[in-house]
Chain A
Amino acid sequence: MKKLDRLDWAEGLTVSTFGVRAGVRVNVTGLLPRVLPLLPPGWKKSARVIVQRLYSLLVAQGCERTGMRRLHVLYADSTQVARGAALDQVLAAFETDLHRYTAEAASDVTFLHAGVVGWQGSAIVLPGRSFSGKTTLVREMLRLGATYYSDEFAVVDNSGLVHPFARPLGIRDNSSPTETKYTAERLGAASGIKPLPMGMAVICKYEAGARWRPAPLSQGLGALELLANSVAVRSQPHHTLRRLHTLAKEAVFIQGTRGEASEAAASILNLSCGRERLEVA
């Protein structure tokens, strides 16, 4: 860390998100505007100098010797987390690492890996691992008029309310393996601001051609599914269990296998309106 501290840093800033303070410094002037959109949603500048995690981004500058490849390097504290010739890739690694760290280190809230939309005053939470189709379902619900909260994390506070983590949606087009970022507004939807109680949690997996026939899930098994997608359950089990308990208190859980997102999205929004019909007997 001392070696890194001795380098010449052009600019930097300290930010605070969900109670987690992180710093970022770069060795090139004018790079911060490219860093700002990658910060977690809802970040604020912090005047505090002491941070929980300090990112140091060393951008390769000018190639002095021919045939020598210069790489951009990113450190989190003193650990190298990314290195590459493409700056975009290193910046993507910065975004991934900072979001994950925030989700893991936040102690005032619990992060669940889930897509979230707001619908008629309640949050619909779609927990699931990477590539389970959360973003596709969220996008489809936005098309049907839902409010965007997140395609990555449900942020749950002590009262069991779900806060927005409205980063741009990372949509994978069929022709490309990489994600393209779209803001909810660009997709014609609004982003939620107000924390909402969870009305429904939907545990679903994608299977080509499957018909969407959701079945009710008991609260205990539903909560277990949420636990299976809790970022910091290993390091903060007490907080996680307490918040899951409050979150799930009034919620309905359903599960099923979906085919086309449009069919499932419409059905989920309809069920969410008259959710008492699906309650487990």
Chain B
Amino acid sequence: MNIPLNWLIGLAMGLNLVALGSSRLPSLIRTVAAQGVILGIMPMVLAGGIDWRVSVVALATVVGKGLVIPGLLARAMRAVSIERELEPIIGFEVSLLLGAGATIAAVAGARWLPLLPEHAGSLLVPGAMATISTGFILLVGRVKAISQVCGYLILENGIFLFGLLLIEATPLMVEAGVLLDLTVGVFVIGIIVDRIQRAFNSLDTRKLTALRE
């Protein structure tokens, strides 16, 4: 049981709800960035000391999730001059309710899963489940490409939280996987957003309907 870690996870879970409730894209991007920074601090808190491998993970997470990707997203947003998600598929109130429901279900459901004694009192598993659900709600419930990318980032953050369970046993899997590939993935998505915008002059994914039966 690690009290400071649980505080950080609680904070990240709170940010999930903030993200679900934000209609303005700049605040959504800032929320995702803040969540990234909090996630980056976690490996340090978890290790309890200064270890170079853990420090690299932490630094890369803070820089990647907290600075680089939000910066790219903000740039894409300015390029298309869209500031608001106006007509989401799932409304903001409903999203919030769903997110709150998912959070409660995650905390309750995690009791049923077999956990090692050192993880039993930790919020890592419920935090991961709640964050992954939030990511999915945003991915499905928003129509602007930038909001969807934010949803994808939150989904990724949830997976990162889960990966922290394994960081001592198989650090390589967590490091290489999450940090390198997923951030590159979003980076590429960011470029695509840029290109879509040039092709369509809109970031409304509902307009991507040329291809259908």
A binds B: no
Chain A interface residues toward B at CB < 8 A: none
